[in-house]
C-alpha cells in the first residue's frame, strides 16, 4: 500500500496546478504571438491539430469505460475510473471548437474555390452548425453516462459527504435503485458508442477530409474514430502509469491489468494500420485521379513523403514489434514512453493530412518551436481538467480490481 500524506498530497497538487497553468499560458501565449505575426495560418494550423488530437484522446478514453461497462469487465474498474475523468475535458473541447470559427479564413482553403455543387454541404454556417450539434450530442451523452456511473459508485462509497454536498441539487432520486441506475448507465453507454462512431466520422469529414474538397474516402470516418480510440488508450495508459509509479498517490494496478490494456492498445495498433492499408489499397486499385493525387502528394512528394514514412514507422512498425512481447506490456514506464511516441506520431499524422492543403509548394515542413509550445498548452488544459475532476472524486483512485466503490 502506498503511503498517504494529505498535506504532502495537497502541496504536490498545487505544484501540479501551477505547472499546468504555466503550460497553458505558454501555449496560448505562443498561439497569440504567432497569430499576430506574418503567418497567422500557422497558428490556426497548430490550434486545429491540437484540438483534434486532445479531443480524440478524451473521447476515446471515455469510450474505454463505456465498452468495459457493457462487457461487464471487472478487471478494468480502476482504469475505467481514470477513463471517466477524461470527460472533464469535454466542456473545454467544446469551447475550443467554438473558437475555431474565428480562424475559418485560414483553415478552410475551399472558401474561394469552385466546389462543383458541393457548396450545399461545404459552407461555413452549415458546417459549424452540424458539428456544433454533433459535439453537443456526443458530450451530452458522455456526461449522462458519467452521471449514472458516479451515482452507482457513490451509492456504495464510504466517504460520500463531500460529493453529496457538491452534486446534491442535481441528483435524480428516481435512480436511487442501483439496478435501475445500472440499466440506465448501460443505455447511455450504448448511445455514447453509437454517437462516438457517427460524430467522429462527421468531424473527420468536416475538419480534415474537407480541406481537400475534391478528395473523398468512404473509409475516412471509420479511420478517424478508430484512430481516436487508439490514442485514447495510449493517453489512458500514460495516465495510469504516472499514477501507479507516483508513490504519494493511492493508485496501483496489477501487472495483469497493464498487460490487458496493453493487449487492447496492441490490437488497435493493428486495426489502425488495417484501416490505413485498406483505404490506400482501394484508392490504388480505383486509380481515380482525384483520389490518387491526394495520396501521391502525401507519400511520394517532398517534403511530405519522409514524414509519411516516419509516421508509419513510429505509429505501427515500432509498436507492433515491441508489443509482441508479453513482458513489455506489464512495464508501466516502458508502455507510457511507447504510448507517448504513438501520440506524437498521430499528431504528426494530422499535420500530414492537413499540411499540404494549407501550405502549397513548400520545400520544408511547416513545423517549428511554436507548434511544440502550443501542443504543451493543450496538454496543460487537459491535465488541469482531469486534475480538477479527480480532486472532486478522489475515491475513484482508491478502487481495486473487482471492486465497485
Q: What is the DSSP letter of 71?
A: T
Residue 108's pLDDT is 92
Domain ranges of the chain: 6-108+118-398
Whole-model pTM: value is 0.92
Residue 247's pLDDT is 77
Residue 115's pLDDT is 80
Contact by Cβ (8 Å): 230, 268: yes
Residue 357's pLDDT is 87
Main-chain phi, psi angles of 293, to 5 degrees: -60, -40
Residue 216's pLDDT is 84
Q: What is the DSSP string of 121-154?
A: TS-HHHHHHHHHHHHHHHHHHHHHHHHHHHHHHH
Burial status of residue 164 (CB atoms within 10 A of its CB: 0-12, 13-18, 19 or more): exposed
- To which H or E segment does residue 162 belong? helix 161-167
Per-residue pLDDT of the chain (405 residues; tens, 9 = 90+): 455 555 556 677 788 889 999 999 999 999 999 999 888 999 999 999 999 999 999 999 999 999 999 999 888 889 999 999 999 999 999 999 999 999 999 899 888 888 887 888 899 999 999 999 999 999 999 999 998 888 777 654 434 455 555 555 555 555 556 778 888 899 999 999 999 999 999 999 999 999 988 888 889 999 999 999 999 999 999 999 999 988 777 788 899 999 999 999 999 999 999 998 888 888 888 888 778 888 888 888 888 999 999 999 999 999 999 999 999 999 999 999 999 999 999 999 999 999 998 888 788 888 899 999 999 999 999 999 999 998 888 877 765 554 444
Q: What is the DSSP letter of 258?
A: H
Closest CA to 307 of 318, 298, 316: 298
Residue 322's pLDDT is 95
Question: CA 185 to CA 193: how far, in whole Å?
Answer: 12
Residue 404's pLDDT is 43
Residue 400's pLDDT is 52
Amino acid at each position: 500500500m502506498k503511503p498517504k500524506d494529505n498535506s504532502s498530497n495537497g502541496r504536490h497538487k498545487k505544484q501540479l496546478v501551477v505547472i499546468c497553468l504555466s503550460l497553458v499560458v505558454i501555449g496560448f501565449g505562443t498561439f497569440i504571438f504567432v497569430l499576430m505575426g506574418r503567418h497567422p495560418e500557422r497558428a490556426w494550423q497548430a490550434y486545429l491539430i491540437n484540438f483534434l488530437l486532445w479531443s480524440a484522446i478524451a473521447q476515446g478514453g471515455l469510450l474505454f469505460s463505456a465498452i468495459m461497462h457493457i462487457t461487464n469487465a471487472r478487471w478494468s474498474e480502476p482504469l475505467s475510473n481514470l477513463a471517466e475523468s477524461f470527460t472533464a475535458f469535454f466542456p473545454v473541447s467544446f469551447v475550443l471548437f467554438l473558437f475555431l470559427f474565428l480562424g475559418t479564413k485560414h483553415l478552410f482553403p475551399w472558401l474561394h474555390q469552385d466546389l462543383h455543387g458541393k457548396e450545399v454541404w461545404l459552407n461555413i454556417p452549415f458546417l459549424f452548425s452540424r458539428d456544433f450539434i454533433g459535439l453537443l450530442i456526443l458530450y451530452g451523452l458522455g456526461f449522462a453516462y458519467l452521471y449514472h456511473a458516479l451515482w452507482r459508485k457513490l451509492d456504495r462509497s464510504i466517504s460520500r459527504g463531500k460529493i453529496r454536498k457538491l452534486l446534491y441539487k442535481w441528483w435524480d432520486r428516481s435512480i436511487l435503485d442501483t439496478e435501475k441506475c445500472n440499466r440506465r448507465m448501460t443505455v447511455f453507454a450504448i448511445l455514447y458508442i453509437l454517437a462516438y462512431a457517427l460524430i467522429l466520422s462527421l468531424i473527420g469529414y468536416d475538419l480534415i477530409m474537407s480541406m481537400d474538397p475534391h478528395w473523398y474516402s468512404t473509409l475516412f470516418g471509420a479511420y478517424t474514430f478508430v484512430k481516436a480510440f487508439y490514442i485514447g488508450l495510449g493517453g489512458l495508459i500514460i495516465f495510469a502509469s504516472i499514477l501507479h509509479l507516483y508513490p504519494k498517490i493511492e493508485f496501483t494496478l496489477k501487472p495483469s491489468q497493464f498487460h490487458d490494456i496493453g493487449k487492447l492498445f496492441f490490437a488497435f495498433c493493428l486495426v489502425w494500420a488495417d484501416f490505413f492499408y485498406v483505404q490506400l489499397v482501394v484508392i490504388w486499385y480505383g486509380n481515380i485521379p482525384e483520389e490518387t493525387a491526394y495520396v501521391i502528394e502525401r507519400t511520394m512528394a517532398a517534403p511530405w513523403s519522409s514524414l509519411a514514412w516516419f509516421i508509419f514507422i513510429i505509429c505501427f512498425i515500432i509498436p507492433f514489434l515491441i508489443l509482441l512481447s508479453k513482458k513489455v506490456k506489464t512495464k508501466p514506464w516502458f508502455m507510457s514512453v511507447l504510448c507517448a511516441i504513438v501520440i506524437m506520431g498521430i499528431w504528426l499524422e494530422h499535420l500530414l493530412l492537413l499540411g499540404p492543403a494549407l501550405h502549397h509548394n513548400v520545400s520544408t515542413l511547416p513545423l517549428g518551436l511554436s507548434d511544440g509550445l502550443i501542443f504543451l498548452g493543450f496538454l496543460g488544459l487537459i491535465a488541469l481538467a482531469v486534475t480538477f475532476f479527480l480532486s472532486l472524486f478522489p475515491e475513484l483512485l482508491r478502487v481495486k480490481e473487482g471492486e465497485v466503490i
